[in-house]
Each structure stands twice: as C-alpha cells, then as structure tokens.
Amino acid sequence: MKTFPVRYGTLVKAVTALVVAAMLGIAAMGLRQPQADVFSSLATVVFPLALVLVAALYTVLRYELDAAGLHVVRPLGRRCVARSVSSLRADAEALKGALRVFGNGGLFSITGWYGTRKYGRCRVWATEREDLVVLDGDRGTVILSPRDRAEFIAVVAARFGVRA
C-alpha cells in the first residue's frame, strides 16, 4: 500500500481557525448565560461544539493506493474513491468558479459534491484549492489535493495503466 499525505492550504487553515473560534465563543457564552429551556441550551452550547466535531471527523487525512483502488482516509475510516481510473491530470484551477452543491467549503477540509464549468459534477476530497489533481474513474470525476502532485500522478497512473 502506498500512502500520500496532504497539505492543509491557507484557506482551510483560516476557515478552520475562524469557525472553531466562533463556535467555541458561542458555546462559552451559552455556558455563562442561564438557559430558559432545553432548546436554548442545545442551540448555544451543543450545536456549535457538535458542528466542529462532525467536521473534524470528516476531514481528509491522506490518500492510500492499494490493490482495491484509491482511498481517502478520514478519522471515520477509509472511503474508496476509484477502483479504476481512465485519466489523471494536474489542474491548479480545477475548483475555479466551482459551486458547492453539498459539502464542506473549508472547515478542516474541502469535501463534497461540486459543480464546475470545466469538469461538470464532481466529488471533491481536498485540503487546499490549489495544486489539485483531477481523476476520472469508475465513480465519476474526483478532485484531490495530495502534497506531492507529481509523485501521486506518476504512481496512480502506473497502478491503473493510464497516461498522465
């Protein structure tokens, strides 16, 4: 099995820092205020902390390539993103003008379903918006952000027998 680390980009770091600080601040204020009912407690303390926890559990930690395919590794486990690959390329602007249909736009990672002019509907498992790799596979178009794009492309292309 080959492992590919990720690099957390400036956008992800900034969004994560701001959202975590805001959610901790909301929770701290909620703890200091007397709550009139259970809903108020949930809204001001539990929800902000749960939001941060759930996003952290879905963050992209690394990519792994093995005999079964290419996987994204998150704290909740591995998810196969491609069992076969038909094309693979570097594209620093793959997310330029992308519209998030459903997912996370920067809290710990950039994940979810996106629509782009260049690639149409695609799945994103990234930790930065630059230095991206676009992969067309059996599960559709996937955008990833390995730390070393050149090595990732070379190894994945060799494993699946495609031209990079």
pLDDT value at position 98? 93
**For the chain, percent of residues with pLDDT exceeding 90:** 84
- pLDDT of 111 > 90? The answer is yes
9: left (phi over 0), alpha (psi -120 to 50) or beta: beta
Binned at pLDDT 50, 70 and 90, residue 36 comes out as low
- pLDDT of 35 > 70? The answer is no
CA distances 61 to 7, 100, 119, Å, are 9, 21, 24
Q: Which of 129, 70, 136 is nearest to 105 (CA)?
A: 129
d(CA 58, CA 75): 7
| pTM, 2 dp | 0.90
Number of domains in the chain: 1
Note down the domain range covering 71.
1-164
| Cα-Cα-Cα-Cα dihedral sign, residues 8, 9, 15, 18 | positive
- pLDDT of 5 > 80? The answer is yes
What is the number of H-type helices and E-type strands within the chain?
4, 10
Strands 120-126 and 85-90: unpaired
- Planar angle of CA 24, 25, 31, nearest 5 degrees: 90
